[in-house]
Chains A and B, each alone.
Chain A
Amino acid sequence: MAEIPLRACHECDLLYRIDLKSTARAAKCGRCGAVLLRRRRDSLDKTLAFTLAGLILFAVANSFAFLEFEMQGQITQTTLITGIRALYAQGMWVLALLVFLTIILAPLLQLLGLIYVLLPLKLQRIPWKLPQVFRLVHALQPWAMMEVFMLGILVSVVKLGEMAIIVPGIALWSYGILILALAGSVASLDSDLVWEKVGLRS
């Protein structure tokens, strides 16, 4: 039997030997409490399913009416990108860029990156530049803020509720489910499973 490799806690550097094969669920660092690893059953299949569903929802969320605003008989229909365009038109291009990055680009790249990594692995292949792409997926994580945007919608709707009628569109519903799908794919992802498939280079 091969020796179990050492593993350092990513938050406090305490060293462990954890046998991945006999670890059924999660392991926490005994000293600082960080989650060392999280084993997931059928991780590859589940994550792929959530991610593919997410990609379809993403397409819908970006193609159809997001919110409809009715005031004094005038109707404004918006899509996901309308606000970003309006900010840009008002000269707030930095803000427009930040919003674009956090509610559209980062989630999209995360979805595409996951599919790029997981689909070939499912077919027993190692995709080109897997480590770089997988690291990018992890790095994007804090910048995908769809759930915060959803809270922003809630606040806006309450604020405008007294002066106008607001009708949610198909895109809003898809965006809501997309948040759940992306949360599901992140929760079912077992990163160790992916890293195990990457061989060591000499």
Chain B
Amino acid sequence: MICPRCAAALHQRKPHSIGRTWALLLAAYLLYVPANVLPIMNSASLGYERSDTILSGVNYLIVSGMWPIALVVFFASILVPLLKLVVLTYLLVSVQRRSRWRPKDRARLYRVTEGIGRWSMVDIYVVTILVALVQLGSVAKVEAAPGALFFAAVVVLTMFAARAFDPRLIWDALANSDD
């Protein structure tokens, strides 16, 4: 079936929504580990070298007393990806168990999850900007490290997972159990 107005393919529900969301989500879980364990960047400044993971980056901000920024980064880089994984898993399980519990709140949860995922990219952009700015050869230098790649993959995979999930499935359980 083709939409007579915009020529897009028509589906009753997003095709294979549950299977595709699970696949993307499991891949994201898998990559979540190296994303947080491996350093996302290496920096050297005046002979002093350090390498930062997502978590140690936040910790560095707290220790330096820049806690408002630390809070923002903690929220965007640690809380948001974790919440996304947990919420999408919960939504999938609830839909598969044909849960009828508070569908409106679950729909809202889905909407929020889909909307905030993009903010996790902040750390990737910070690496990009630092890599651009701090290129002073022997004086100071910043390099991106593999953790950033895994972290970016987690962000992109969870974004695709959120798009693959069909919120109509939340309501299907209610429609079919009326009779």
Contacts and interface: CB of A to CB of B under 8 A. Distances in A.
Interface of A: 11-14, 31-34, 67, 69, 71-72, 74, 76, 78, 82-87, 90, 92, 94-95, 98-99, 102-103, 131-132, 134-135, 142, 145, 148-149, 151-156, 158-160, 162-164, 166, 195, 198-202
A76 B135 contact: yes
Contact of A154 (B5, B69, B159, B167): B69
Interface of B: 4-8, 45, 61, 64, 66, 69, 72-73, 76, 103-104, 107-108, 111, 114, 118-119, 121-136, 139-140, 143-144, 148-149, 152, 156, 159, 163, 167-168, 170-171
Contact of B156 (A83, A98, A195): A98
A156 B4 contact: no
A84 B124 CA distance: 11
Contacts of A201: 4-5, 7
Nearest to B143: A90
Contacts, number: 159
Contacts of B76: 151
Nearest to B61: A159
A155 B6 contact: no
Contact of B167 (A32, A134, A160): A32
A71 B66 CA distance: 21
Contacts of A151: 72, 76, 119, 122, 125
A201 B119 CA distance: 40
B69 A162 contact: no
B148 A71 contact: no
Given A87-B131, A162-B64, A145 B5 contact: no
Contacts of A33: 104, 107-108, 111
Contact of A200 (B4, B72, B127): B4
